[in-house]
Structure 1
Amino acid sequence: MQWENLLSLKRQGDTNKRLRKEEKETRLGFEVDYDRIIFSSSFRSLQDKTQVIPLSKTDFVHTRLTHSMEVSVVGRSLGRMVGKKLLEKHPYLRQVHGYQLNDFGAIVAAAALAHDIGNPPFGHSGEKAIGSYFKFGKGTEYKPLLTDKEYRDLTDFEGNANGFKILTESREGVRGGLRLSYATLGAFTKYPKASLPHRPSRHIADKKFGFFQSESVFFSEVAEELGLLSRGSEEDIAYVRHPLAFLVEAADDICYTIIDFEDGINLGLIDEEYALEYLIKLVKDRINTVKYGQLGTTEDRISYLRALAINTLIEESSRVFVANEEAILKGEFDTSLLDKCQYKAQINDIISLSVEKIYRSEEVIEKEIAGYAIVERLLEVFCAAAIRKFGEEETHYDCLVLQLIPEKYKYGFTSPYRCLLGISCFVASLTDGRVVGIYNKINGGQIT
């Protein structure tokens, strides 16, 4: 893969080539990507979506919105740090094409800002609830109406694929969704493959999938423009990652490892004594012992260690990327950057403690169970109504419930697959609070 292709400024629908050296320095194309994401309604909805604790009533626990903004900040630093090294190694990128180190930071920052934009309510349990409905619940009755690939899109419903759909889907009067640059779309897509064939391998790009069948043609266009190496066939679409996707992933990994841990401490789920021990192991060579000794509160001590830990992992991720750049460009690098870093053991210790004390806490489990019931009930009602409407057999009740769905989701009801995927994406778009509200309306009662 070649960097001059990977940094493409092309947008969906372009007829003329966009050149970096012709860009206005006051408003670069990659910075426009960031602006379009942050002003989108899908991004705003992340303010009421779970990061750690569903329906949390505290004022300091992270939501998907604050998490995404922090990942973007970390991603910007990573991109700039790596960009500086790449421009030194490949001076033609600056001299011939006009790229600057901030371009790398802007691409990663925009992709990182959008990385959770397709996630359903109630965190990953909401994602699993959608898949479970079609795989084990009443949604199995729709299998005969779908191809194998279409059915897998639903049974393994994926927030990353939904995110790509949100960013790129055309509808009446709106061509190409947010019309982001192909470089940002490439960096956004951590899993550049379709839902089938399933590849049970250790390759990082095979862990999940990155686009639905409804976006497969356009994704191939993006991949070809960027020069991504193919790992599939004409029938089975799969590519190697865009190199900057490794930086987006690292930014996300750094933030949820360290900041979710910090949330657990502030919630009282993890004792300060344990927390300090685990964080100090990660940053012991960087601590200013005099400054640290003057910090009088748990919050200040944890905040200081958190900042050191994030900076340490940013520098280490950058080092690993630059050291492996050649393998990454050849598509031969098959793991995350943090899995190759010298702090892997410390990171794994922190994650293990977070799983035990935070993600499996009683409060989280109870609300995730409720989330399953809520999501599956909404899918049951809306999917049945959408399919009957497609078959022109809808009841008066169907007409009523479908009025709760915005027109942009009903616009594509042109096949059973698009009906069911549209409903799934609508449910995924709902905030934690909104999904509970609709559930209450459907059931004529209240849930707390």
Structure 2
Amino acid sequence: MESADDFCYGILDLEDGLEMNILKWDDIFEILRPVLEINGSDISDVENELGKMNYGRKMPILRGKVIGAYVEAAADAFIKHENQYLNGDPTSLIDLCESDVKNSVYKAKEIAKDIIFNHPRKIELEIGSYNVISTLLNVMCEAALEWSKDSNKMSFRSQRVMDLIGRNTFHPRIGENSNELSKNYMVLLRVIDFVSGMTDNYATFLAKQFNGMGI
């Protein structure tokens, strides 16, 4: 799971950098090219295939090919070193993958850390995301706690928030005679689950709506 996380976010961070014009397509392709060659892909064929597409389609195609190669390399490395892991060896699975895979993952992480995360546009988005999450949690937690305490004394705004989340999506035990601390825990858990399941775009859209700045 830890390796899968590194594989996915290594690629997605590069994709973010491309979408925000922080990185160029040629720079990304150069990092990932060796991974494509592992499975015997004809790089000229891949380049011709991708060259006919716009950037919006290029990156998902490349992502699929590269992650597929990553998964195969990780599976091979795990099988070869299974006994090490069964004996408690803490070595990262990525370090045991063939060098082209290992180098591309670490290069992607290095670029993300040194270039993408420190770019002004990324920093601006990161700062803004704090306000988005705060807005969503403040509004929804307040409504959920009101509902948990006494559903008959909720403000109209909180009623509408609960309509949005869906009362029937909360744990059925909340309606039982459980203690207040337990009920609060369960309702807040559901709110966090609801927010964490949002896409970035939807969370931003919803925060704007809550602040009266939506369309």
Q: TM-score range by the shorter chain?
A: 0.5 to 0.7
Q: Distance in 2 between matches of 1:306 and 1:431?
A: 19
Q: Distance in 1 between matches of 2:36 and 2:29?
A: 10
Q: Report Cα offsets for 1:313-344 as digits up to 9, x if no partner.
A: 3443122111222344x362434421322423
Q: Distance in 2 between matches of 1:266 and 1:250?
A: 24
Q: Which residue of 1 aligns with 2:79?
A: 322
| Partners of 1:412 and 1:419 within 8 A in 2 | no
Q: Which residue of 1 aligns with 2:88?
A: 332
Tell me the secondary structure at the aligned position of residue 404 of structure 1.
helix
Amino acid at match of 1:390: S
Tell me the secondary structure at the aligned position of residue 214 of structure 2.
coil
Match of 2:125 among 361, 367, 371: 367
Q: Does 1:444 align with 2:212?
A: yes
Q: Which residue of 1 aligns with 2:180?
A: none
Q: CA deviation at 1:409?
A: 3.2
Over the aligned positions, Cα root-mean-square deviation in angstroms equals 3.9
TM-score computed with the length of structure 2 as normaliser: 0.66
Q: CA deviation at 1:257?
A: 2.6
Q: Which residue of 2 aligns with 1:401?
A: 161
Q: CA deviation at 1:271?
A: 3.3
Q: Report Cα offsets for 1:57-78 as digits up to 9, x if no partner.
A: xxxxxxxxxxxxxxxxxxxxxx
Q: Distance in 2 between matches of 1:311 and 1:443?
A: 42
Q: Which residue of 2 aligns with 1:275?
A: 28
Q: Does 1:348 align with 2:100?
A: no
Change (3 A) 1:435 1:258: closer
Change (3 A) 1:279 1:378: closer
Change (3 A) 1:434 1:413: farther
Q: Report Cα offsets for 1:86-117 as digits up to 9, x if no partner.
A: xxxxxxxxxxxxxxxxxxxxxxxxxxxxxxxx
Aligned counterparts, 1:184-263, within 5 A:
190=1, 249-258=2-11, 260-261=13-14
Q: Which residue of 2 aligns with 1:428?
A: 196
Q: CA deviation at 1:417?
A: 0.7
Change (3 A) 1:353 1:426: same
Change (3 A) 1:407 1:321: same
What 5-or-longer segments of structure 1 have no aligned partner?
1-189, 191-248
Q: Distance in 1 between matches of 2:203 and 2:38?
A: 46
How many percent of aligned residue pairs carry the same amino acid?
A: 25
Tell me the secondary structure at the aligned position of residue 169 of structure 2.
helix
Tell me the secondary structure at the aligned position of residue 355 of structure 1.
helix
Q: How many residues align?
A: 197
Aligned counterparts, 1:102-141, within 5 A:
none
Q: Distance in 2 between matches of 1:270 and 1:405?
A: 38
